[in-house]
Every structure is written in structure tokens, then in C-alpha cells.
Amino acid sequence: MGTGGGVPGVILALIRPDLRVELSESVGKRARAVADIVRGLGLTVPVHEGAAQPLVAARGSGPDRFDTLVVRAVAPLARLLGWFEPLRAAYGRLLVVKGPRWEEEKAEARHRGLAKAVSIRRVAGWPIRGSDNESVLLEIRARSPA
């Protein structure tokens, strides 16, 4: 969701050719630039021009359902959860790359009631060069029914 100039989707496609990777970019100019990068690398990775939500919704819960959505630097966590809450059955998990404010964003999502149906856990972290802060990878999954 959001190509990020090809990071991490193109890199995933390069190092994990066993994965089916698709990219979605709502900004046409960026989508076309990443499509050129993909073609130049000889990859067969679709680059969808448009928002990710309709693409995810169109796959539904069938055999072409997305297992994982990867999100990097697209929006605050509460906004992401709001966008993808109605589509929770159409994907397995969200992997979200967040910066140093991730804990504040998580608290805001909880405060708004957007974290009730999902579990949010930090699965990795790495230092941000030149600062005392870190970026993290969050895994967001639907909670199992009680």
C-alpha cells in the first residue's frame, strides 16, 4: 500500500521471488515511475494505480485474498486502521513500518476504539541513523473471537 518509491515492495520481490508481490500507489506519477523501475529490473510485479482499499476489497476472502498488506509511511496508525477496518476479512495481516511516534499513534488508535478488534504488536525495531530514535515494524491482525 503506497509504493514508497518501490520500498519495500520491489525489494521484497527481488529477495523473495517465491512471494506474489503487488504494489498499489494512489499518486499516478509515482505509480508510473515505480512501474518503470519494475520493468527495468525484469520483474513481473503488478503496479496498481489507485488506492489500495478497492483492490483489497475486490479480492475479498476468496483464493486471491491478500495474506499480508505492507504499509510504509502512508498515514497515522488510527487513519490506517479506519481505512482497513471494514476490509479486515479480506487480508490476513498488516505489516506497518512506523517511526518514533508509533507508541503515541497506537495510544491514539486505542483511544478512538480502533484497536478493539485487532492486536498490534511490535515485531522488529532498528535505529534511525543520526538520532536516538528508532523505527519499528508493527504486525496488526484481527483478534480471535472470544
What's the CATH code of the domain at 141? 3.40.50.150
Could you tell me if 132 and 67 lie in one domain?
yes
pLDDT tens track for 116-137: 889 999 999 999 999 999 999 9
pTM over 0.95? The answer is no
Q: Rounded mean pLDDT of the chain?
A: 90
Per-residue pLDDT, 144:
74
Q: Is residue 55 part of a domain?
A: no
Q: The domain containing residue 146 runs over which residues?
A: 62-146
> Please, is 123 exposed, middle or buried when counting C-beta atoms within 10 Å of its C-beta (0-12, 13-18, 19+)?
exposed
**Which position has the higher pLDDT, 71 or 102?**
102
Q: How far is CA 54 from CA 24, 25, 104, 138, in A?
A: 10, 12, 28, 23
Determine, yes or no, domain membership for 56: no
Q: Give the whole-number percent of the chain exceeding pLDDT 90.
A: 62
pLDDT tens across 106-116, in order? Answer: 999 999 998 88
| Residue finishing a domain among 27, 50, 73 | 50
Domain count, the chain: 2
Convert the pLDDT of each residue in 56-99 to its tens digit: 998 887 888 899 998 887 789 999 999 888 888 889 899 999 99
Please determine, for residue 18, whether its predicted confidence score (pLDDT) is greater than 90: yes
Q: Band of the pLDDT at 47, cuts 50, 70, 90?
A: very high
Which residues does 51 contact at the CB level (< 8 Å), separation at least 6?
Answer: 24, 26
44/69 same-domain check: no
